[in-house]
Structure formats: structure tokens, C-alpha cells
């Protein structure tokens, strides 16, 4: 794990660490988003830490027998199943279930990873469903899917989903939120946009993308030069003045910092919402940083 990780990967791993810390690791996960390599790496991380003899916090030690076997790709209780040809077949699921039904070799967790889970045949999915309903003691199933929408709903609903959102996707989500917020009144903000934002796994990343969208509008208002835009694709100019946009930019940055310090999400987002309304309606008074007090 020496190479630099994408923010999506780090964020997903942090969520697994929280679950480990609380002793609330699910017995079935569905990892989506990102690329297959990152999804496999995340599954390997979970398997390693579940089986490590001497984990430090929520990190595998990297030295014990289990960790060395994981690193060497020969851990007897770790099973990575990939599609045979174009699909994951029922024989593969049956074989996996046989292995999971055995006692673990080293007394730890048995972890099965199904790569390309969305390629599962209908028969394979039906077979897997039974294991998902009643996973053997000490067994963990991790499904990896690029297109989770192709999985049967019965499978999907039995897994805890963890999404590795890639940066491009996140940037556009941020721009989209920003444009929605700009066009919304208080009711739409409170009833539609805020609940969506609150559910975002990587709220900090979304706020970062929102501040860049706002920054682009500010730069456009001041220079009218497309070359200076960071995200020319999807760019829409704003009707706000540069001064208002500057206030918005500072406000989003403050919210991002508050999220980073583990502030209460709802309170942070409500502060964002009310302050944005104030700025939009031109009610920012002489005290230009008054909004900071709410955060
Ligand atoms: Zn270890």
C-alpha cells in the first residue's frame, strides 16, 4: 500500500475503519465506483485487517504470518473469484460456498471477493442469495461491481454498499449541487438539496468541487477568459456580482473546513444554506465575515 491513493479510496477505507472500530463490519459488502483494481485493493485491505494478528488501530501490521500471506497472494482464507469468460457462473459460486462452509485454516475470518459481480448469471445469483441471507459464521462476502444497477435487487439489498466515487464524477456532482443551490429558494434548499447533500459519503469532496465551480464563476465575471476556468465543461456563468461570489467562495471553504473537523453535518449545511440565501438576496452587511460565526 505504498502508492498514493485517490481521495475516493482513502475515504472508503476510512469508512471501513470506522466500522471496524465500532465492531460493526457487515458480513456482505458491495464495493462500487472507482476501478476494479482499487475495489480489489480495498477488499484486500479489509481481509488483511480482519485477519491480522497484531493490527495497530485499524491498520494491518504487514509483518505477521497472515499479513505476509495476504501480501504474497496465498492466504488460505482469502478467496478472490473472477468471471470465467464473460460471466460469474453457478459452479464458481458453489465452489466458493463449499470453501466458506469449511472451518477457517487459521482461526480467523474467511473472506470471499466476487470481482465483476454484475456479470453473475441468474442461476449464480440465486445460489449466492442463500449464502447472503445466512452467511456462515466468520465469513465475509465482498461483491465488486462497476455497474451495480445490473445486479438483481435481491442481491443488492442484502449488501452494504460502499461507493468509491471517482474524481471526475465528484467534480460534476459538486458543480451540479452548486447550480441547484443557486437556483433554489429556501423551501427547495431545505427539503430537496440539503437532505441529498447530507447523505453524500464524501461531503468534503463535494464542497471542494462546489467551491471550484464558484471560483470559476468568479474568475469568469472578472476576466471573461475561458482559458482561466478550471472546469470549462459544464460551466454556467452566474448572475451574482463578483463580491457576492467571493463571499460564497469563502463560505463554502469555511463549511469544508468545518466538515473536515467533524462538525455536525446538518448544522454545517444549514449554516451554508441560510448564509447563501443572505448573500444571494444581497443582505450581506458591512461585517463581511459575519457568516463565519455560525460555523
Ligand atoms: Zn498482521
9 Cα: distance to centroid of ligand 1 (angstroms): 21
Distance 61 CA to ligand 1 centre (A): 4
Helices 167-183 & 265-280, crossing angle to 10 degrees?
50
- CATH number for the domain spanning 105: value is 3.40.50.300
Q: 117: CA distance to ligand 1 center in Å?
A: 28
Residues 191 and 250 in one domain: yes
Owning domain of residue 102: 7-164
Ligand 1 centre distance from Cα of residue 36 (Å): 24
Q: Distance from the CA of 67 to the center of ligand 1, in angstroms?
A: 4
Q: What pLDDT shows up at residue 2?
A: 41
The reply to whether 147 and 246 lie within a common domain is no
What separation in Å is there between the alpha carbon of 107 and the centre of ligand 1? 14
> Are residues 149 and 196 part of one domain?
no
Q: Output the pLDDT for position 289.
A: 42
68 and 191 both lie in a single domain: no
CA of 274 to the centre of ligand 1 (A): 49
Q: How far is the CA of 216 from the centre of ligand 1 (A)?
A: 47
Query: Same domain, yes or no, for 123 and 248?
Result: no
The answer to whether residues 53 and 138 belong to one domain is yes
Cα-to-centroid distance, 16 and ligand 1 (Å): 17
Ligand 1 centre from 48 Cα, in Å?
7
Examine the fold and report which residue of 164, 183, 206 is the final residue of a domain before the chain moves on: 164
**Whether 49 contacts 180, CB under 8 Å:** no
* Cα of 80 from ligand 1 centre, angstroms: 19
Do 142 and 39 share a structural domain? yes
Give the dihedral sign, CA 264/269/270/276. positive
From the CA of 51, how far away is ligand 1's center (Å)? Answer: 7
Low-confidence stretches of the chain (pLDDT < 70) are 1-4, 166, 283-295
Is residue 230 included in any domain, yes or no? Answer: yes
Q: How many angstroms separate the alpha carbon of residue 69 from the centre of ligand 1?
A: 9
What separation in Å is there between the alpha carbon of 35 and the centre of ligand 1?
A: 26
Residue 116 CA, ligand 1 centroid: distance in Å = 28
Interhelix angle 7-21/167-183, rounded to 10 degrees, is 90
What's the gap in Å between 60 CA and the centre of ligand 1?
A: 5
- CA torsion through residues 282, 287, 289, 291, sign: negative
The reply to whether 99 falls in a domain is yes
Cα–Cα nearest to 272, from 215, 197, 221, 199: 197
pTM: 0.62
C-alpha cell at 242: 463578483
Residue 159 and residue 20 share a domain: yes
Based on the domain organization, do 37 and 183 belong to the same domain? no
Residues 48 and 125 in one domain: yes
The H or E element that residue 230 is part of is none
pLDDT at position 288: 47
Residue 233 within a domain:
yes
Intra-chain end-to-end CA distance of the chain, in Å: 36
pLDDT score of 180: 94
C-alpha–C-alpha distance, residues 175 and 154, integer Å: 33
* 68 CA distance to ligand 1 middle (Å): 7
Domain-terminating residue out of 164, 189, 210: 164
Which residues contact residue 259 at a Cβ distance below 8 angstroms, ignoring those fewer than 6 apart?
A: 203, 204, 207, 265, 268
Amino acid at each position: 500500500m505504498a502508492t498514493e491513493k485517490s481521495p475516493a479510496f482513502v475515504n472508503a477505507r476510512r469508512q471501513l475503519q470506522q466500522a471496524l472500530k465500532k465492531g460493526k463490519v457487515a458480513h456482505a459488502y458491495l464495493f462500487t465506483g472507482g476501478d476494479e483494481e482499487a475495489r480489489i485493493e480495498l477488499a484486500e485491505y479489509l481481509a488483511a485487517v480482519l485477519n491480522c494478528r497484531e493490527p495497530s488501530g485499524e491498520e494491518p501490521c504487514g509483518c505477521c504470518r497472515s499479513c505476509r500471506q495476504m501480501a504474497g497472494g496465498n492466504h488460505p482464507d482469502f478467496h478472490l473469484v473472477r468471471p470465467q469468460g464473460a460471466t460469474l457462473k453457478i459452479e464458481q459460486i458453489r465452489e466458493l460456498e463449499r470453501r466458506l462452509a469449511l472451518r477457517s485454516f487459521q482461526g480467523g475470518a474467511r473472506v470471499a471477493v466476487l470481482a465483476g459481480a454484475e456479470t453473475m448469471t441468474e442461476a449464480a445469483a440465486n445460489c449466492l442469495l442463500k449464502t447472503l441471507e445466512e452467511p456462515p459464521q466468520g465469513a465475509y462476502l465482498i461483491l465488486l461491481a462497476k455497474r451495480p444497477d445490473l445486479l438483481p435487487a435481491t442481491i443488492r439489498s442484502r449488501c452494504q454498499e460502499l461507493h468509491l466515487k471517482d474524481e471526475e464524477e465528484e467534480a460534476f456532482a459538486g458543480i451540479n449541487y452548486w447550480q441547484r443551490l443557486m437556483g433554489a429558494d429556501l423551501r427547495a434548499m431545505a427539503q430537496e438539496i440539503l437532505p441529498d447533500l447530507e447523505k453524500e459519503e464524501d461531503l468534503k469532496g463535494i464542497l471542494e468541487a462546489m467551491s471550484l465551480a464558484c471560483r470559476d464563476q468568479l474568475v469568469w465575471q472578472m476576466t471573461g477568459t475561458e482559458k482561466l476556468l478550471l472546469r470549462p465543461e459544464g460551466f454556467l456563468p452566474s448572475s451574482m456580482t463578483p463580491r457576492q461570489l467571493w463571499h460564497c467562495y469563502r463560505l463554502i471553504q469555511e463549511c469544508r473546513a468545518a466538515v473536515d473537523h467533524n462538525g455536525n453535518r446538518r448544522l454545517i449545511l444549514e449554516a451554508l444554506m441560510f448564509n447563501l440565501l443572505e448573500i444571494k438576496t444581497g443582505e450581506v452587511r458591512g461585517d463581511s465575515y459575519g457568516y463565519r460565526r455560525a460555523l
